[in-house]
């Protein structure tokens, strides 16, 4: 059996109840239509970013640029996440998120040892010569 929602409950009442007055049937059908309309609009509506979301995005953009600059300063060196976090002054988990986003944007290279541990990061941006 599927999840019992308000629409399913109202539909069940309409299908399994005899001798309902016409007004009640119309009201139940109107309620079902209203619930379906609300569910459809909620699925397609995009949320406007809050001030907190915007501030967080700006902070992350600034961190990405700081980390990229630190990596570009020594392009051939491999950095540990903890080491970069200490250099920039943020927590290791936040640095990991920044490095992952830079990796997805193809700005840093992620490498690890044979056992899959000891992950290191290196700049992928071309160097001016």
List the chain pLDDT tens, one digit each, 129 residues.
Answer: 578 889 898 899 889 888 889 999 999 999 999 998 888 777 777 778 899 999 999 999 999 998 888 888 888 888 888 988 998 899 999 999 998 888 888 888 888 766 656 677 777 766 554
Q: What is the DSSP letter of 24?
A: H
Pick from 78, 115, 76, 82: nearest CA to 96: 82
In angstroms and rounded to an integer, the radius of gyration of the C-alpha atoms of the chain is 27
Handedness of CA 53, 55, 60, 64 (dihedral sign): positive
Q: How far is the C-alpha of 90 from the C-alpha of 82, rounded, in Å?
A: 9
Burial class (CB in 10 A: 0-12, 13-18, 19+), 63: buried
Are the C-beta atoms of 125 and 105 separated by less than 8 Å?
no
DSSP class of 42: H
* pTM listed for this prediction: 0.58
């Amino acid at each position: 059996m599927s999840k019992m929602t308000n629409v399913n409950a109202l539909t069940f009442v309409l299908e399994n109840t005899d001798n309902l007055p016409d007004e009640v049937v119309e009201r139940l059908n109107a309620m079902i239509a209203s619930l379906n309309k609300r569910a459809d609009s909620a699925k397609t509506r995009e949320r406007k970013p809050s001030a907190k979301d915007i501030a967080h995005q700006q902070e992350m953009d600034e961190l990405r640029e700081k980390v990229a600059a630190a990596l570009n300063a020594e392009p051939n060196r491999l950095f540990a996440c903890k080491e970069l976090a200490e250099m920039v002054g943020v927590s290791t988990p936040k640095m990991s998120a920044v490095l992952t986003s830079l990796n997805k944007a193809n700005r840093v290279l992620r490498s690890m040892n044979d056992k899959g541990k000891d992950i290191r990061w290196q700049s992928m941006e071309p160097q001016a010569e």
